[in-house]
Amino acid sequence: MAPGSIGIVSPQTMQFDEPIELKSGAQIDEYSLVYETYGELNSDRSNAILICHALNAAHHVAGRHADNPYDVGWWDNMVGPGKAVDTNRFFVIGVNNLGGCHGSTGPSSINPKTGKPWGGDFPVVTVEDWVQAQARFASRLGIEQFAAVMGGSLGAMQALQWSIDQPERLRNALVIAAAPNLSAQNIAFNEAARTAITSDPEFHDGHYYEHGVVPRRGLRIARMIGHITYLSDDTMDDRFGRELREKVLNFDFGVDFQIESYLRYQADKFADTFDANTYLRITKLLDYFDPAQAYGGDLSRALKNATADFLVVSFTSDWRFSPLRSKEIVKSLVDNRHNVSYAEIEEPHGHDAFLLDDVRYHNLVRSYLERVAI
Amino acid sequence: MAPGSIGIVSPQTMQFDEPIELKSGAQIDEYSLVYETYGELNSDRSNAILICHALNAAHHVAGRHADNPYDVGWWDNMVGPGKAVDTNRFFVIGVNNLGGCHGSTGPSSINPKTGKPWGGDFPVVTVEDWVQAQARFASRLGIEQFAAVMGGSLGAMQALQWSIDQPERLRNALVIAAAPNLSAQNIAFNEAARTAITSDPEFHDGHYYEHGVVPRRGLRIARMIGHITYLSDDTMDDRFGRELREKVLNFDFGVDFQIESYLRYQADKFADTFDANTYLRITKLLDYFDPAQAYGGDLSRALKNATADFLVVSFTSDWRFSPLRSKEIVKSLVDNRHNVSYAEIEEPHGHDAFLLDDVRYHNLVRSYLERVAI
């Protein structure tokens, strides 16, 4: 293994037999969550960091799986021995959220009431529901308070929600490439992606498992739409520009430009590994995220009782959740005289920058976490 | 009729029996073009303005049709007696382009060789092909030289191509909300839209007419994607924000937010009136547009032989074809010491601003055209 890698890791499963009440009013009677941990929990149980995943990821944050050495965790550049999130010092946890499609209970799981997959009957979950499930999960691990809860994009939204819903249970929140809610444009892109899935004839109202099919066409289009919004226009121009795949225009509807080939590849890869019902639910969960909403739209009031210290990070080229959106969060924290550090990183790669190996960005996270007492 | 309106107008059809050779190498043996005219051609035939349409429009530029008084032309706020493009002074022409779906020969027309609709066999046409067909059309009308060729977005690309391919046949080119070619991001959005159409099971390789179906699901998604890119994030936030349709979250996959309702409405309206094969071809035509390409990527060389005067207009909030892209055109014109006026209009409405009734914008076009000798 490369120096700094956590090495081979194995997921574990935790079963919950107590029902969980969801914000929608629905209830899930029993469920399981799949998770991974890296590093050692100290005797004070004070060095735990929860890493929350975004739309397209799961519990496999760092290291590799023994059965597939190419299956590197999605934030392996950030998490490991000696890395910005240093597993020599911290006990780091990744958990696949409720409703996911990587092992935790979700739409493809068997609904114990029917003996068949939940499918379209799996409830719409919210960020609040996820935080509730994660808090219960943490208690079972014996972690009363996290040194930090962190994430990028939707992961950061969970960290923010933790600071509101469970203020005593985290000392730090790292909120990276986030927004306090989705804009109309963000929702519109999600709605176009959902329409692609729900109008696929193989969707069957979400009960496609029973039909032995998947709404693959819809999922491919959804991924194309999403993927475009993760990258900046400049990054796409730098990487692909108007480069042709075969040096000539084909005058048909196959691939002319490299960017088309790349999009098709990303779409295929995603459709092979992600569940359409989960995609629908997570985009809806994103649309619904709006902690200020219960406070008349006043995010400062929503964050009033937070006690964590905050690091908020944005990337200049992120047009999905622009720095202006992060500044809304910062302003609300400052309004409450909470401790907050804010960094806007000049970076060309768009929203996906939070996943990339940028030395200034990683050093920032490293420095912040070095100051976190354990 | 309201003062300033051209009133009731009627489309006409012109039949062409001479084959047209396309850039692809394909040939169309015979075809017809539908067009409308407003105002009177003067005795010198020197007062004609050709208005080129963009992706979603056609020949019906101004006025109303007798059989449907709500069917107002797409640029009626710009074109009419006393308006910025003054039909008391100019003879204005709108023509549905080859491959269109509003009356001109296109994929839904009968292919004389087979007696069946062209469908998927209709060739991919280019902006150069359109200009060639328009030039032939103009000759048949007895117009040797246009006072101006103008348009917004793809319409502006045609005006630019006219100045390159037919330099002696226009005295002015009005190039509004354009780009000298599509960026990788622009192409990516088009590819996602095309994938929605071509992967619709009712597409049948473009031969859906014979199956008595239309790939409506795909066309709806394509329109959603396109529509999002026509509006600015700010406009969407101002018009819709996070407003709910029914004051509560529904926790399902119906409409929660007004923006979703709006998108669905736009998608339905478009799918009722536009042909999927035409949509595929016009997005491909947009991707292919790149006049600099034949000159080693040097737009200045491409524009070297242009003789027209130019008005180039961009809108600050247009993220589809940003002002930076218009400035590339301006720079290439300046490199050649061509006469060019450039205006960047501070406007919040995104790419669609070129269609809207903005007094500064319209006064700019008015002033420019008042100086055009006829």
pLDDT of residue A1: 43
Which residues in chain B (98-137) have CB-CB distances under 8 A to chain A? 123-124
- Contact criterion met (CB < 8 Å) for B259 and A187: yes
Reply yes or no on whether the pLDDT at B3 is more than 80.
no
Mean pLDDT for B105-129 is 97
Selecting from A184, A221, A253 the residue whose C-beta is nearest the C-beta of B236 gives: A184
Residues on chain B touching A123 (C-beta within 8 angstroms): 251
CA distance, residue A237 to nearest chain B CA (Å): 5
Q: Which residue of A has its CA nearest to B237?
A: A184
- Which one-letter DSSP state was computed for residue B319? S
Point out the residues of chain A with pLDDT beneath 70: 1-3
C-beta separation of A142 from A91 below 8 A: no
Question: Which residue in A187, A194, A317 has the most chain B C-beta atoms within 10 A of its own C-beta, making it the best mutation to test that interface?
Answer: A187
Which residues in chain A (202-231) have CB-CB distances under 8 A to chain B? 217, 220-221, 224-225, 228, 231
Reply yes or no on whether the pLDDT at B2 is more than 60.
no
φ/ψ (deg, to 5) at A139: -60, -40
pLDDT of residue B120: 97
**Catalytic amino acids of B?**
153, 318, 351
Give the C-alpha separation, B222 to B193, whole Å: 4
Which residues in chain A (256-285) have CB-CB distances under 8 A to chain B? 256-257, 259-260, 263-264, 267, 280, 284
Residues on chain B touching A181 (C-beta within 8 angstroms): 242
- At B323, the pLDDT band (50, 70, 90 cuts) reads very high
With helix as H, strand as E and coil as C, how does chain A read?
A: CCCCCCCEECCEEEEECCCEECCCCCEECCEEEEEEEECCCCCCCCCEEEECCCCCCCCCCCCEECCEEEEECCCCCCEECCCCEECCCCEEEEECCCCCCCCCCCCCCEECCCCEECHHHCCCCCHHHHHHHHHHHHHHCCCCCECEEEEECHHHHHHHHHHHHCHHHECEEEEECCCCCCCHHHHHHHHHHHHHHHCCCCCHHHCHHHHCCCCHHHHHHHHHHHHHHHCCHHHHHHHCCCCECCCCCCCCCCCCEHHHHHHHHHHHHHHHHCCHHHHHHHHHHHHHCCCCHHHCCCHHHHCCCCCCEEEEEEECCCCCCCHHHHHHHHHHHHHCCCCEEEEEECCCCHHHHHHCCCHHHHHHHHHHHHCCCC
Token output for A20: 């969980």
C-beta separation of A50 from A79 below 8 A: no
pLDDT of residue A3: 56
Question: Which residue in A203, A248, A249, A288 has the most chain B C-beta atoms within 10 A of its own C-beta, making it the best mutation to test that interface?
Answer: A249
Residues on chain B touching A182 (C-beta within 8 angstroms): 242
- At B98, the pLDDT band (50, 70, 90 cuts) reads very high
- Decide the pairing of beta strands B20-21 and B27-28: antiparallel
Residues on chain B touching A319 (C-beta within 8 angstroms): 319
Full strand arrangement of the beta sheet holding B8-9: B8-9, B64-65, B68-72
- Contact criterion met (CB < 8 Å) for B237 and A184: yes
C-beta separation of A298 from A153 below 8 A: no
pLDDT of residue B4: 81
Give the C-alpha separation, B52 to B79, whole Å: 13
Give B217-247 pLDDT, tens digit per residue: 999 999 999 999 999 999 999 999 999 999 9
> How distant, in Å, are the alpha carbons of A52, A355, B160 from that of A358?
20, 9, 41
What is chain B's mean pLDDT, rounded?
97
Token output for A367: 């420095």
For B125-162, b/e burial (b = at least 16 CB within 10 A) is bbbbbbbbbbbebbeebebeebbbbbbbbbbbbbbbbb
- Contact criterion met (CB < 8 Å) for A263 and B191: yes
- At B69, the pLDDT band (50, 70, 90 cuts) reads confident
ipTM comes to 0.96
Selecting from B187, B191, B228 the residue whose C-beta is nearest the C-beta of A192 gives: B228
Which residues in chain A (321-350) have CB-CB distances under 8 A to chain B? none
**Catalytic amino acids of A?**
153, 318, 351
pLDDT of residue A69: 83
pLDDT of residue B57: 93
pLDDT of residue A154: 98
pTM score:
0.97
The answer to whether A242 faces chain B, any CB pair under 8 Å, is yes
Q: Which residue of B has its CA nearest to A230?
A: B185
Residues on chain B touching A188 (C-beta within 8 angstroms): 224, 228, 236, 259-260, 263
Selecting from A221, A236, A251 the residue whose C-beta is nearest the C-beta of B221 gives: A221
- Decide the pairing of beta strands B309-315 and B340-345: parallel
Neighbours of B261 (CB within 10 A): 18
Task: Look at residues A77, A129, A94 and name the one whose alpha carbon lies nearest to residue A14.
Answer: A94
- Contact criterion met (CB < 8 Å) for A228 and B189: yes
Neighbours of B111 (CB within 10 A): 16
Question: Which residue in A217, A227, A238, A243 has the most chain B C-beta atoms within 10 A of its own C-beta, making it the best mutation to test that interface?
Answer: A217
Reply yes or no on whether the pLDDT at B294 is more than 80.
yes
Residues on chain A touching B221 (C-beta within 8 angstroms): 192, 195-196, 199, 221
Ramachandran class of A20: left when φ > 0, alpha when ψ lies in -120 to 50, beta otherwise: beta
pLDDT of residue B1: 43
Give the C-alpha separation, B272 to B5, whole Å: 27
Token output for A332: 């609300």
Selecting from A188, A198, A224 the residue whose C-beta is nearest the C-beta of B263 gives: A188
Residues on chain B touching A199 (C-beta within 8 angstroms): 217, 220-221
Which residues in chain A (167-186) have CB-CB distances under 8 A to chain B? 181-185
Helix (H) or strand (E) holding B41: none
Give B169-205 pLDDT, tens digit per residue: 999 999 999 999 999 999 999 999 999 999 999 999 9
Question: Which residue in A260, A286, A299, A320 has the most chain B C-beta atoms within 10 A of its own C-beta, making it the best mutation to test that interface?
Answer: A260
